[in-house]
Structure 1
């Protein structure tokens, strides 16, 4: 079984290996690897044709002062990368050796990535490598690594220096490296998925003679969909099932079948999977339920998949579909799915059926549909990569009840979303929903606030129900994106126009006044009783042709970014029948149709007749249409944003920040809240605008600080176990005399006795707008920065915006606009300065979170904005001991 220190990762051709750190127990394997190197490989590695002592090499690789990683296929070591740790200021020298028969498969690149991750965790910021100039393969590995590289040639040898960006930094170098790793991961992942999603041959194991058995249904579906490769079946009791000849055992199959579909009882799944691995099957689709619920069965299955290097969908799934004409695979017991441009990755089989049915009704269909079930191996991350490469998918839809590596998911989703819409339905938002999701998927659902921040930053369009998802998806496929949020509403039913305008206001869209030229044109077309402002009420007697010309006139108004066209059919006909001519002209701005009274929530016009190339979905309700339009505006905004990483703020001191945290953990290995003095130092290291702060222990010291400040002061008691000082009576404000200060100090002594560790003295901040800036660390997603309305009522107001770290500059800059109170805040005369100050504070807090993985939570409350400046009145922070993990290190789920 894969050990706890091992990671299973993919090579360039889709095969997988186990990567782990090497130690003295691996001496024999390292020695054997180097002993088996051919003469040419030995020369390239050691710069000499003479054999170097293989045992001596192994001594160096597994020595206590070495950091070494190895790649294993089964029990055989096929590659090793290592360096010896050097004194501070000296760059370690990296060396790589790969078994000859495993070369040109990406082993060296994968080993280098894992060695770089280990080096960064040890604080190494530079590696060097001496490479023969004729060793093109190794030079290419280093050049393609994505790391900043400097090369100097001395005769036949190239000295290569690699800069290792710190794992807690962001910036162009980090992004280039992560992009290079992501590109290699993408190619490897897609290659590994080909036997699963585009197999050359398929076998169904467990296809019974009974007509209603799942295995038989899946086999029939594969055959009836005209799968392009050979189909086999395993059944010891039948010569043929569904017209497919059977063999009695897996061992009787031809070797190297690509995909095995398992429809056997749960208890038999691990053994059947083992037989498939021994026979060279490259991928499994496990339809069977009940495996994940049994820890022994699940462990045996995972071990088998890992040892044999197979990819797997399931267990407990509906199946998978690839409608590519070159594949035509419908390995599912659902109804056949229609070919189209939409990719589906759904944990729930029922949700997949509902989505596929709705897409078929709208004439969209699927490119690839995967019911991931319990997602023991293949999950949404894999499908995001597949869709990035398949050339057929024009929109991706996810229903994900849990995410194992949310930060990796975010990076992959962001990459795909830059060229293709990515949509999801939120699930597990309520307590009951989270319990159901955990039970269903055998994993923990991510809390909604963190997950929504992840989706928003990654460009994933998240909705709350399937109707909204289908409506938004249809709109994005049929119409251009709006260039802004300005909407015109046109209706032949005035009340419906009002409902649409109200919905626009709720969802952040602006119903703007039409220009005078537009109103004049409309006045010439419509009866005098019509309303030609916005919403436009054409009156119920308008003919379809006139209604269409009204839409065209409104679309031509430069103040309009999109049109919502609403009709109620009358004896004169349906005004929306005039929309076809408008759409045939391919307007540059989207038109959303609402047909009041239609039976379906979202429909495609003329479902039974010829479908025109130009179309728009029609909605039964104005609110649903407006929500879809708001989603399209959200996508347009995201695409138009700057996606550059947030810059490092000026005036920060990372070394001092690290010293503070290390000192806290040295005093208390379990971590805890920083005392006021260290909190002040941490704020200064981050360049946060903390008001002058002193920690005192006597009344005389407090009076002297008051005299030095020359203003009224606040006293804040530092009390063991008290975090929220105001609630505990540990704050005295506006003290402006020696007597009031002494009384305040005495009261603290009286109330808190021996728990009082000290008293913070600060000049009173000028009254102003109070904000909260904080950061918390989510165990799966990493740090989450929060900006909200602050002060003592912050929990009552609960108006907050959130952003995951690492973030882009735009993510952080726009947080103020994400508050419910944003309209009031951004209408102020000093809004620009306020926005810059808030953005600077959240950027510095985000920087702290990136620098310090141990920072469990930190908060400024309040950050007071007054007289054109921001002042942090208080910073409280808690740290915990943590073992940092590289979130971008390539690895398959374990």
Structure 2
């Protein structure tokens, strides 16, 4: 059996600790921790004096994990500073919990961290409640229990308190855990982004070297802290004193920047850890997949350091209190309000240069490279507390903990825009998928569902990213999708209108008053309908008045103003007076301008000016979708309760592989999902008894090895009437499929309706994904489907219903949308409760005016790897 070596985690002050299960070898340390307790702590722990058999108690606590017992310890720089354990009460799903924390670290959140790890393990073990008996005087431990975020009850009166904690994972508890995680993470990243002292290890005297460039950029940024260099061949570099080794530095740096070849970089990280350095930035490449890379990981864990990289561009912060530029960027970095985390150094360089060109700047930039430790999740937590960052940008090639990422990004996106560049979209086809759901749930679909649910504005290229940053930086979000186009060049206006419609925006219908006002302002040949064509003959002042008239229309949420200069004048120059930032959203378009996007007037924040109407429309559409997401109620999770969750869990226990048809039907019954009445007959059995009991007409469906598309594969016989015909159809299917036939499903013919598909596909990294689309024969013919990650909120379910290309036509009739919505939420809840459910395919689901019902079901189970994505721990 593998031994759980534990995981690194953060205390409230940013210290890195190791949290791991205890074993008999830890008995002496457990005894030592209890022996060091103060007189008051001993009284609180034992309700009196220290017990005489303390060594026996220590051995019991440090016993190996087993059903009914679990103990976890917290190690700070190798010393045991806290222990939490539970003992299950006899024949119960309740467990009694106990805590001991060294007084020296009492205010750093050790007790809370240990309790979170204990809660996570207890849930996996199926426990329902923690109970404890606490002295009323022991207010601190009562507060620890009460503030966890769990449902909490405590008795009142008397010298003791009976405490109960309900071990349900709800939004309140997750929010509390993430809040504590964010505080601790921000404290630890202070060593990276606001260090009091820095050592650059490997800075050379040669200007062309990476280390020299990093040191030069640091000095040019005006970093106010203490700086030293490690270079055994120089006494000073760029005026900075140099030491021969890490051990010989004049003082222990808070942050070490390592610019050395791979093998030497590993030596440097180990030396930094031994010296007590709190964080390392490893710019060096060539470590991953080598023994040197393994040494770096082990040193970071052993010495409790934070690490950025390796193989990265570096770190930038423009905070005026502690400006630093620890990169090899070619030029200075302009201060601004854009925070960037990127796995690609090249993307970081391109983005920094583009923002400089626009007159925008960075609040911070962290290049995570091979991402041994610090990741995108860390920066999401940092930016949550950093008010200088008003816009967050992500370039991530992989997700270590996507469920935690989703919750963090959703939290941040509620207060400021979060942008991401899609990457890794290739290879999305799953040609050997065993169900329609699996075929639809590609990696790109899963990633896009993650972004959309978290409120992330996703783009495909760095160029598009810069377009959106410019649009967000100088204009408010649009109040809705209704767009008007005003142009002095008819062709540009038409192109803009076409682009808006392609992007799903609504061309606003101008009011009669607006059209009348425009007719009085403009030449008679002008077009006063949307798109408005002022004609090229109007001077700038008249164009400005026309734009004001359109902006005053209550039916307009945003305007694209496309202008070209003429001999009469340049209407573009009039926009500055018309577009104050507190008014409706206005984007300018100047066909033929040299830059793809630029400020309308250099050095000002009036609005973004694009060289093409399509670019402006694409940005506007993304901003409209983000505004719509912001206006959704944030309910936090699936709201559909299932009647008997314990029966579902019991049903799932121990199952693997595709369920037999009868078992799949039973799964739906337990989940409260409507399924047409179904009878299953084994291939070798007689149909006589079933035929005698069945009404007419019925449909027979073959359950055969390798038969996915039943209709196309000849596996469905419709509208069969009478016992004799039923037996004949059964024999036909047995003859058609031979030994591949496992059995036949018989169902009453369903009433006519629209067929849709609802399914679940569980991803080992992202978790379960709910898929919705057109079903039946349309599933493959049209391939119109959408997906959302579990858990679905009510808003997610509504968006899923409206995300199909055919959604407008689908719901324009009298179909029971509410029933399908409820079905989606029940399927989501089923996937939450039963992690063994790897795949579910309800295809088709027949939707009518007053109901929906599944006509066919396939379900696959596999043994899940139970991990807690929200447990506070650092990357291993």
Which residue of the partner structure matches residue 36 of structure 2?
Answer: 36
Which residue of the partner structure matches residue 434 of structure 2?
Answer: none
Cα distance, 1:738–1:14 mapped onto 2, change above 3 Å: same
Residue in structure 1 matching 2:731, options 737, 743, 746: 746
**Pairs within 5 Å for 1:136-215:** 136-165=139-168, 167=169, 174-215=170-211
Cα distance, 1:735–1:791 mapped onto 2, change above 3 Å: same
**Pairs within 5 Å for 1:260-279:** 260-279=256-275
Which residue of the partner structure matches residue 818 of structure 2?
Answer: 836
Q: Secondary structure at the match of 1:104?
A: helix
Q: Secondary structure at the match of 2:156?
A: strand
Residue in structure 2 matching 1:374, options 349, 365, 370: 370
- Could you tell me whether the CA contact under 8 Å between 1:262 and 1:284 is conserved in 2? yes
Residue in structure 2 matching 1:306, options 301, 304, 321: 301
Which residue of the partner structure matches residue 472 of structure 2?
Answer: 476
1:70 paired with 2:73, answer yes
Whole-Å separation in 2 of the counterparts to 1:49 and 1:656: 47
Cα distance, 1:446–1:75 mapped onto 2, change above 3 Å: farther
What is the CA-CA distance between 1:863 and the residue it aligns to? 0.7
Whole-Å separation in 2 of the counterparts to 1:498 and 1:679: 54
Runs of 4+ in 1 over 6 A off after TM superposition: 698-701
What is the CA-CA distance between 1:349 and the residue it aligns to? 1.2
1:597 paired with 2:592, answer yes
Cα distance, 1:272–1:793 mapped onto 2, change above 3 Å: same
What is the CA-CA distance between 1:834 and the residue it aligns to? 3.0
1:254-280 superposed Cα distances (whole Å, 9 cap, x missing partner): 343111110111111111111111111
Cα distance, 1:394–1:748 mapped onto 2, change above 3 Å: same
Cα distance, 1:870–1:432 mapped onto 2, change above 3 Å: closer
Which residue of the partner structure matches residue 687 of structure 1?
Answer: 672
The gaps in structure 2 that reach 5 residues or longer are 431-440
Number of corresponding residues: 861
**Pairs within 5 Å for 1:184-583:** 184-294=180-290, 296-334=291-329, 335-431=331-427, 447-583=443-579
1:576-611 superposed Cα distances (whole Å, 9 cap, x missing partner): 211111123x4532001101110011101232xxx3
Whole-Å separation in 2 of the counterparts to 1:180 and 1:697: 52
Whole-Å separation in 2 of the counterparts to 1:707 and 1:473: 69
Residue in structure 2 matching 1:758, options 731, 738, 743: 743
What TM-score, normalized to structure 1?
A: 0.93
Whole-Å separation in 1 of the counterparts to 2:700 and 2:442: 40
Which residue of the partner structure matches residue 60 of structure 2?
Answer: 60
Comparing 88-97 with 137-146, greater Cα deviation is found at 88-97
Whole-Å separation in 2 of the counterparts to 1:697 and 1:350: 61
Which residue of the partner structure matches residue 610 of structure 2?
Answer: 619
Residue in structure 2 matching 1:852, options 834, 842, 850: 834
Q: Secondary structure at the match of 1:814?
A: helix
Which residue of the partner structure matches residue 108 of structure 2?
Answer: 105
1:134 paired with 2:137, answer yes
1:813 paired with 2:798, answer yes
What TM-score, normalized to structure 2?
A: 0.95
Q: Secondary structure at the match of 1:603?
A: strand
Residue in structure 2 matching 1:673, options 655, 658, 662: 658
Whole-Å separation in 2 of the counterparts to 1:513 and 1:793: 35
Cα distance, 1:816–1:706 mapped onto 2, change above 3 Å: farther
Residue in structure 1 matching 2:627, options 617, 636, 644: 636
Q: Secondary structure at the match of 2:108?
A: coil
What is the CA-CA distance between 1:420 and the residue it aligns to? 0.7
Which residue of the partner structure matches residue 655 of structure 1?
Answer: 646
Whole-Å separation in 2 of the counterparts to 1:154 and 1:676: 57
Q: Secondary structure at the match of 2:500?
A: helix
Whole-Å separation in 1 of the counterparts to 2:675 and 2:207: 74
What is the CA-CA distance between 1:754 and the residue it aligns to? 4.7
The gaps in structure 1 that reach 5 residues or longer are 168-173, 435-444, 666-670
Whole-Å separation in 2 of the counterparts to 1:94 and 1:657: 29
- Could you tell me whether the CA contact under 8 Å between 1:344 and 1:368 is conserved in 2? yes
Which residue of the partner structure matches residue 606 of structure 1?
Answer: 601
- Could you tell me whether the CA contact under 8 Å between 1:14 and 1:190 is conserved in 2? yes
- Cα RMSD, aligned residues only: 2.1
What is the CA-CA distance between 1:154 and the residue it aligns to? 4.7
**Pairs within 5 Å for 1:784-823:** 784-823=769-808
What is the CA-CA distance between 1:291 and the residue it aligns to? 0.8
Comparing 258-267 with 4-13, greater Cα deviation is found at 4-13
What is the CA-CA distance between 1:433 and the residue it aligns to? 14
Whole-Å separation in 1 of the counterparts to 2:226 and 2:24: 48
- Could you tell me whether the CA contact under 8 Å between 1:813 and 1:836 is conserved in 2? no
- Could you tell me whether the CA contact under 8 Å between 1:42 and 1:51 is conserved in 2? no
Whole-Å separation in 2 of the counterparts to 1:652 and 1:542: 69
What is the CA-CA distance between 1:704 and the residue it aligns to? 5.7
Cα distance, 1:481–1:703 mapped onto 2, change above 3 Å: farther
Whole-Å separation in 2 of the counterparts to 1:726 and 1:268: 64
What is the CA-CA distance between 1:407 and the residue it aligns to? 0.6
- Could you tell me whether the CA contact under 8 Å between 1:806 and 1:846 is conserved in 2? yes
- Could you tell me whether the CA contact under 8 Å between 2:428 and 2:442 is conserved in 1? no
What is the CA-CA distance between 1:211 and the residue it aligns to? 1.8
- Could you tell me whether the CA contact under 8 Å between 1:315 and 1:375 is conserved in 2? yes
Which residue of the partner structure matches residue 873 of structure 1?
Answer: 855
What is the CA-CA distance between 1:755 and the residue it aligns to? 4.6
Whole-Å separation in 2 of the counterparts to 1:253 and 1:463: 46
- Could you tell me whether the CA contact under 8 Å between 1:649 and 1:844 is conserved in 2? yes
